[in-house]
Amino acid sequence: MNNLIIGTLFALCAAALNASIGVISKLLMHSGLSPQDIAFLKTVIAFFFLSVFLFKVPVSQKIAFISNTPSKLSVFTQIAICAFLGIFSLFFFETIAYNHGAAANVVVVLMASAAISALFFGRLVLKESIYIHSIAGTLLAVAGISLISWKGENSLLMLINASIAGTGYGLFSVLIKKFRLNGGLFLTKYLLLFGSVYLAVPFLINFHSISFNSNIILGLIGLAVLPTILGFYCTTKALTYLPAAKVQVTELSEPIFAALMAWVFIHEQPTLSFLYGAIFIISGIVLINKASKA
């Protein structure tokens, strides 16, 4: 299997895992948790699980695996920068955006800006070539996700905050490549460590008593394991094999997986706009992956 196939499979797995975020988060909010609670608690739980799982591996061995490239910045400094963009900036500004517009619109703007910023910063930071296929593929995929998810209502504050969240996530993908950090469980663990520290600030500022029950605990564990641990693992592994722009555009397939899950589990029938959007997204993924060899 070549790098293109392996990287695309990891990115598709990340999209499928991330598709669970909306449903589980909505259930947790109905149980009384705020978005700040969910972002912080799922990150802390995920970090705890990985810490236990990787307990016997020495720190020096983890760091040596993550990076063996000489740099002016320490490995922990590089990871801290990436965690600020990929975890804190993403979750924090996404949370604000949800207060100013429909959740579906937030997802569209966030994912579209992530794909576009990964393409832009890939050129600016990594000096990657931008091909016509890359631009066409990105625009097709963005059009597809808009067809699937976009709703009428929106606001300027939603657009600004969702764009910041997505841009931060796109830049996160580029810097993982720039710092030559090897994706996997070790990198995911330390991203979650710094992400937990950053997310503790809005959590403590908005602190309130939480009545934990089995539904809340299971929901948080689900978010910690599926999109947080496994989702970030697959994204960082995909970045080992593919340019950041290709990973972000491929992850625009997330609404397809979300709609398929809704069809299978709660029997929601796909609409005609979903079918058109899915065709656009798949065409965009094929186009950008034809732009050059990974």
122-168 residue pLDDT tens = 999 999 888 888 899 999 999 998 888 777 666 888 889 989 999 99
Average pLDDT over residues 11-30: 86
Dihedral sign, Cα of residue 254, residue 214, residue 52, residue 172: positive
Q: What does the angle CA 269 – CA 257 – CA 114 come to, to the nearest 5 degrees?
A: 125
- Which pLDDT score is estimated for 292? 53
- Which pLDDT score is estimated for 291? 57
Percent of the chain with pLDDT over 70: 96
Tokens 């058109």, residue? 276
Among residues 102, 81, 45, the alpha carbon closest in space to that of 173 is found at 81
pLDDT for 199-211, tens place per residue?
A: 999 999 999 999 9
**Token couple for 235:** 């994204």
Q: Which residues of 138-171 are buried (b: 16+ CB within 10 A; e: fewer)?
A: bbbbbbbbbbbbbeeebeeebbebbbbbbbbbbb
pLDDT for 61-109, tens place per residue?
A: 999 999 988 888 999 999 999 999 999 999 888 878 877 777 767 878 8
Has residue 294 got a pLDDT over 50? no
Q: How many CB atoms lie within 10 A of CB 262?
A: 17
